[in-house]
């Protein structure tokens, strides 16, 4: 792996992340994504910097280790897919399927994310500091997702479990056919999806919201009572849990 090299600490940190000494550098201008993922699956370091991703697909997928991976640039589809325990930061934009089926660990994208961010993810924390396109949190199964900006249409479609926090607006179809996931939105919400309703936001929910925002590093919002007061909670009316023809229009 010719392009693997050690990087001194001074070079390591693209901003506020915690990359320490001995971050290994993998430059995708000269290494393949295969070499990158092979290294991450049998790691010889704890910290990695990934340079020049230039929209490459499947960056840092299938991590099953306690690793810090700092990607310096935009990534294509499925970055961080099925992540377990890894802590991935993308200093750029992310394509579709960001963190799909993540199990644990964390993924943070400093820019925007495309469609299906956090699709079917079962655990861990996914933070998108910018906005996401449609179907954010589709079929989510336990992950926590915090989005700094807006989410596109049909977000949290068939969301089964976990929590989605949207600091901006949510487009039409939010929570369509939702099961037991909980959604918090600060901004405007378009037409709600089938079986999704607004629910009372009680103290325990406010506490949960503060916890999620804090975990996501959005302390300015978490500590601002006024901002917190603007959030509303959405979840399942549970009217589609049993199949009847009276609901034919909703299926």
Residues forming the site for another protein (CB under 8 A) = 33-34, 37-38, 41, 57-58, 61-62, 64, 76-78, 81-82, 84, 96-97, 100-101, 103, 115-116, 119-120, 122, 135, 138-139, 141-142, 157-158, 160-161, 177, 179-180, 240-246, 251
User: How far, in Å, CA of 46 to CA of 24, rounded?
Assistant: 8
To another protein, the closest distance from the beta carbon of 162 in angstroms equals: 9
107 contacts: CB under 8 Å, gap ≥ 6: 79, 80, 83, 87, 88, 89, 90, 98, 99, 124, 125, 126, 127
Residue in 176, 177, 140, 175 with CA at minimum distance from that of residue 160 = 140
Handedness of CA 194, 159, 234, 246 (dihedral sign): positive
To another protein, the closest distance from the beta carbon of 5 in angstroms equals: 22
DSSP states of 187-248 as a string? S-B-SBPTTEEEE---HHHHHHHHHHHHHTT-HHHHT-HHHHHT-EEEEE---SSS--GGGG
Q: Which is nearer to another protein, 18 or 32 (CB)?
A: 32
Q: Which is nearer to another protein, 31 or 120 (CB)?
A: 120
Q: Which is nearer to another protein, 17 or 99 (CB)?
A: 99
Q: What angle do CA 40, 45, 51 make, to 5 degrees?
A: 65
To another protein, the closest distance from the beta carbon of 40 in angstroms equals: 10
To another protein, the closest distance from the beta carbon of 99 in angstroms equals: 10
Q: Which is nearer to another protein, 141 or 205 (CB)?
A: 141
Q: Which is nearer to another protein, 17 or 56 (CB)?
A: 56
Residue in 72, 69, 111, 70 with CA at minimum distance from that of residue 93 = 111
To another protein, the closest distance from the beta carbon of 244 in angstroms equals: 7
To another protein, the closest distance from the beta carbon of 13 in angstroms equals: 27
To another protein, the closest distance from the beta carbon of 39 in angstroms equals: 11
Question: Are 160 and 137 within 8 A, CB to CB?
Answer: no
Q: Which is nearer to another protein, 89 or 134 (CB)?
A: 134
- Between β-strands 23-27 and 5-7, what pairing exists: parallel, antiparallel or unpaired? antiparallel
User: How far, in Å, CA of 242 to CA of 173, rounded?
Assistant: 21
Q: Which is nearer to another protein, 204 or 246 (CB)?
A: 246
Kindly list the distances between the CA atom of residue 245 and the CA atoms of 10, 132, 195, 249, 251, in Å, as whole numbers in the listed order. Answer: 64, 35, 15, 8, 9
């Amino acid at each position: 792996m010719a392009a693997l090299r050690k990087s001194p600490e001074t070079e390591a940190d693209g901003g506020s992340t915690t990359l320490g000494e001995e971050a290994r550098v993998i430059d995708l201008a000269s290494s393949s994504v295969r070499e990158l993922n092979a290294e991450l699956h049998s790691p010889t370091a704890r910290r990695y910097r990934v340079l020049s991703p230039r929209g490459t697909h499947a960056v840092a997928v299938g991590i099953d280790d306690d690793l810090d991976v700092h990607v310096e640039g935009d990534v294509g589809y499925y970055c961080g897919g099925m992540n377990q325990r890894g802590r991935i930061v993308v200093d750029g934009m992310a394509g579709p399927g960001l963190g799909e089926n993540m199990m644990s660990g964390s993924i943070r994208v400093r820019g925007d994310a495309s469609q299906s961010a956090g699709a079917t993810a079962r655990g861990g924390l996914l933070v998108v500091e910018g906005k996401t396109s449609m179907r954010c949190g589709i079929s989510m199964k336990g992950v926590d997702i915090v989005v700094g900006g807006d989410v596109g249409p049909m977000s949290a479609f068939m969301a089964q479990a976990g929590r989605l926090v949207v600091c901006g607006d949510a487009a039409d179809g939010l929570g369509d056919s939702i099961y037991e996931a909980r959604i918090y939105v600060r901004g405007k919400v378009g037409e709600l999806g089938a079986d999704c309703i607004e629910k009372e936001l009680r103290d325990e929910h406010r506490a949960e919201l503060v916890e999620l925002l804090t975990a996501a590093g959005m302390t300015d919002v978490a500590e601002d009572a006024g901002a917190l007061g603007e959030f509303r909670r959405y979840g399942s009316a549970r009217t589609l849990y049993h199949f009847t023809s009276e609901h034919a229009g909703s299926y």
